[in-house]
Chains A and B, each alone.
Chain A
Amino acid sequence: MTAKNLKKFDKEMNVCIRCAYCFEECPVIKQVGWDSDGARGKVILSYGLLAGELAPSQHIADKLYQCTFCRDCMERCPSNVKIIDIISSARADLVDAGFASDTHNHVINNIKNTGNIYGDTEVISPEQDGKTPLFIGCQYLSRPNKTKKYIKILEKLDINPVVKKEICCGFPMEALGFRKEFKTHKEKFQKAFPFKEAITFCPTCTVFLREGYGIDAKHVLQVILEKIPKADLGMKVTYHDPCDFSRGLKIIDEPRKILEKLGVEVVEMKNSKEQSSCCGGGGGILMSDQTLSDSIAKKRIKQAIETGADTVVTSCPTCETVLKKAAAEIGESEGENIVVRNIEDIIWKGLK
């Protein structure tokens, strides 16, 4: 294996002094338990691949894809090791070495062929003229009712964004290690979305528009915070911080302030804000290891139930989907129930 993607992290991997501080709240090692499941283990595997001390294998690929990209390890790493960059580079080298899974290939082909991660040819961007460009993202585009709701919220708050026909931002290509494909896709994306600033609906797209394209992307919650009128919904909820919010974009106060304005009391979970636990849906793990993803999500739902709130609110469509499934399963198997809602539903309710 040439490990050409990992090569530039040669020195960075030695910055990791293998202290294991990344174990503390890593959702994967907490669930699976082997040292190979934590960030340190993944960095060591990457180092082994680069040094030629390890030959690429399906086992190594499985381990390196068992990561939610929740960035908790990076929050805790006192050496500020670029863990996610190392893991995604290792994935890229593994893809080059022929270790791409069928599921991942399928998703990447969907993006290449349809511009949408689900290969959803029915997806239609609700094109309109306006001021600031809006990037909706695959997750919302495939949920037209949610998209309409968010656009109506913007209209009610006197924000009129411009919407063009859009294609996937390409994050799955980068995250899953399909860098060659991303290089081509990037050009296509930049033609379809030639803007320097954007309002976004999806936390992950927001991070990636910033990091992958240098676009000044603002999540819709940042944009509407000041414009939300007060309401008195009288609800008590707990709030699940999407990882791309709390650690990726440091958007922690905004959703809480919006909920507060709408008269919603937020009770915090054991792990919240910067220390928030992952829902188990990120980094491609949903496609690589559904069982692991489910078990991480259930753990999070249990934390939510422990707060005594009857609703858990989040701001990410992936978190919402994954947590809803976990809540339903826990409700069925253990008789403990909690409702999962996305924040746009609460905002919509407050604006009515």
Chain B
Amino acid sequence: MKIDVNKLKEIVGEDNVTDEVADRYIYASDSSVHQSMPECVVRPGSAVEVQKIMRYANKNKIPVIPRGAGSGMSGHAVPIDGGIVLDMKRMDRILEIRPEDVLCKVEPGVINDELNRQLKPSGFFFPPTPSSGKICTIGGMIGTNASGIRSVKYGATRDAVIGMKVVLANGDLVTMGSNTRVDSSGYQLSRLMVGSEGTLGIVVEATLLISPLPRYRAMGVANFATLEDAGRMISSVIAEGVTPSMLELMDNVAITAVNNAQNLGLPDVAAIVVFECNGMVKEAIDFDMKRIKKICEKNNGTGIRVSDDPKEMTRIYEGRKKLFPSLSRYKEGLVTTALADDMAVPMSKIAECVHEIHDIAKRNNVVMSAYGHCGSGLIHTKILMDTSKKQQWEDAKHAVDEVYKYVYKIGGTTSGEHGVALSKAPSWKEEKKDSLEMMKAIKKALDPNNILNPHKLMDAPDDWVTATDLRYQVTS
């Protein structure tokens, strides 16, 4: 059915609807490999407007795809079936900051770092720290259950969301969860919404747990000649009861890329581990940093450096946070694609997994980097390839398939924090085959007309390469 753009303009105002082909082209893609145009883009400014849009869309069976910054890597915001993209960035108000209750209430378009800027005067922060924190929205973080580099200590978004208001497919506004840390009875619907990738409802308000800002922080780096040593170091830190606030691995591809793009001058070694401890008592941090240092030494770490100098810490921290985009400068002619970008494996398997990823890359004529929040067992990779060649997409498809088959074999999971959407859906469906029907039943109950971000997760096509157009020009 053709969308009545004037009807939508009546709801949100003339300036907040576009069906210009150029705008639709931009909203056809995110940071994934996919491309598919919506019929229009709408920027709601309130929950009431979202309700009206959903009532209209539900009545007319029009797909609605919520979108934050559009930085998702698996195609969450790509409208596979056209319809309306809801750009939620206009709903960016911080509604309440309640330090006495250790919570805040925000609209979904609030940017993660902006929230932290506003929380700082109260001495608090919102713990999930995705690398994209400077631009990603809370709504997007909820959609994918983002976690980030401090997940090893603070957990993921799901651990920090205790309540929310959600507009359902039929336009009803529902309050879920509570204002308390504990809420024991019944189905935990707000937790269900986290990670649902916009398929069950449109989050219009979230109640988030906040944490006191740590008074002290120290950061360290260690180099490793083998991935095995780095992997053992990481699992030993966790197994020995140290609680780092960051425990990150970068392989040699990642090191080269960061050096090329950001001129960081990191050593050319098999792996670098970046670690951080934070807290309220300096002596406790010093104690933990010493323990980590010893673990590094025990596992043949070299060039071990510990610093509490804010400038030095910012340099290391920012270098790590910009790793994904830096991969684009790894080698001339190779394009970074967000494929096989995210997985989690048992801690003891990290080194083996990184080796396997490198072997898979070699076998399939692509380059793959491995890095990530390994303190949480989370590994990120990307596939670097010549996107103009048809054969390379076949290679990438095999590589993705092999990576996830291996990940399940060792007891891991498809997505640690980036979500599944389209690119990872075929592998994820294989992993979750026992519970797919249950998930489909939930989706059907909440969205009988299948209008909320359709064809994602369990409903995604079985072949991600042909699920949508690719956003690259494939010429040969």
When C-beta atoms are compared, the residue in chain B nearest to A63 turns out to be B22
**Is B31 a contact of A15 with CB atoms below 8 Å?**
no
Task: Give Cα A81–Cα B89 distance, bound, in whole angstroms.
Answer: 25
Task: Report Cα–Cα, A35/B31, bound state, in Å.
Answer: 13
- Chain A, 20-35, CB within 8 A of any chain B CB: 20-21, 23-24, 33-35
Q: Do B26 and A21 touch across chains, with their CB atoms under 8 A apart? A: no
- Residues of B within 8 Å of A78, CB to CB, are 261-262, 322-326
Interface string of B20-56 (1 = CB under 8 A from A): 1111011101110000000001010000000000000
Size of B's binding interface in residues, CB under 8 A: 39
Residue-wise interface mask of A (1-25) relative to B, using a CB-CB cutoff of 8 A (1 in contact, 0 not): 0000000001100111111110110
B interface vs A, CB < 8 Å? 18, 20-23, 25-27, 29-31, 41, 43, 69-71, 87, 89-90, 132, 134-135, 261-262, 322-329, 333, 335-336, 338, 387, 472-473
Question: Complex: how many Å from CA A24 to CA B336?
Answer: 22
Contact A20–B22 (Cβ < 8 Å): no
Interface assignment of A108: CB less than 8 Å from any CB of chain B: no
Q: Mark A88-122, 1 if CB is under 8 A from B, else 0.
A: 00000000000000000000000000000000000
Bound form: Cα–Cα A48–B22 in Å: 9
Residues of A within 8 A of B71 (CB): 18-20
Closest beta carbon of chain A to B24's beta carbon, Å: 10
Q: What is the interface residue range for chain A against chain B?
A: 20 to 34
Closest chain B residue, CB of each to CB of A61: B22
Please, how many angstroms separate the alpha-carbon atoms of A34 and B322 in the complex? 24
A352 within 8 A of B: no
A–B complex contacts, Cβ < 8 Å, 29 sampled: A14-B472, A15-B328, A15-B329, A16-B328, A17-B324, A18-B30, A19-B71, A19-B132, A19-B325, A20-B70, A21-B325, A23-B135, A33-B89, A34-B18, A34-B87, A35-B23, A35-B26, A35-B27, A36-B26, A44-B29, A45-B25, A45-B26, A48-B22, A51-B473, A78-B261, A78-B323, A79-B326, A80-B261, A81-B328
**Residues 41-63 of chain A: 1 if any B CB is under 8 Å from the residue's CB, otherwise 0?**
10011001001011001011001
In the bound complex, what is the Cα–Cα distance between A33 and B69 (angstroms)?
A: 11
**Are B132 and A17 closer than 8 Å at their CB atoms?**
no
C-alpha gap A44/B90 in the complex (Å): 22
Is A19 within 8 A of B31, CB to CB?
yes
How far apart are B441's CB and chain A's nearest CB, in angstroms? 34
Q: Which of B22, B27, B134, B387 is close to A60, meaning CB atoms less than 8 Å apart?
A: B22
Judging by beta carbons under 8 Å apart, are B43 and A33 in contact?
A: yes
Residue of A20, A41, A44 with highest tally of chain B CB at under 10 A: A20
Which residues on B sit within 8 Å (CB–CB) of A168? Answer: none
Closest beta carbon of chain B to A164's beta carbon, Å: 40
